[in-house]
């Protein structure tokens, strides 16, 4: 049971990492963000990137920046959450 949960957590986060990375790549290609794939990626990743972007925009460092560092920060935070969840599963089971 423990290994199954750990594997599920790893797959979930790898999928999210992949989706965010693809969204970053699509942001460099005008027009693809407006495609069906672009809209789907937006819907899947914005619940993670939106709150991070708001935190960065409100910070004294991030306010008014032209570059969006929220994907990098989100990936970092997701990695921390993945480690915490994996550790919790290992402790509980």
Can you say whether the dihedral through the CA atoms of 57, 63, 66, 69 is positive or negative?
A: negative
Percent of the chain with pLDDT over 90: 70
Overall domain count for the chain: 1
Residues in the chain: 93
Is the predicted pLDDT of residue 18 greater than 90, yes or no?
yes
Provide mean pLDDT across the span 51-61.
Answer: 80
The chain-wide mean pLDDT, for the chain, equals: 90
Q: What is the pTM for the complete model shown?
A: 0.84
Range of the domain at 50: 2-92
Provide mean pLDDT across the span 27-37.
Answer: 85
Please state, in angstroms and rounded to a whole number, the distance separating the CA atoms of residues 65 and 63: 6
Q: How far does Cα 68 stand from its chain's mean position?
A: 13
Res 67: pLDDT: 78
């Amino acid at each position: 049971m423990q290994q199954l949960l750990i594997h599920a957590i790893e797959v979930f986060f790898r999928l999210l990492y992949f989706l965010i990375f693809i969204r970053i790549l699509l942001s460099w290609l005008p027009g693809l963000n407006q495609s069906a794939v672009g809209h789907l990626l937006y819907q899947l990743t914005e619940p993670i990137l939106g709150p991070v972007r708001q935190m960065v925009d409100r910070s004294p460092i991030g306010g008014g920046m032209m570059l969006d560092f929220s994907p990098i920060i989100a990936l970092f935070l997701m990695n921390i959450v993945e480690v915490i969840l994996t550790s919790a599963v290992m402790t509980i089971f």
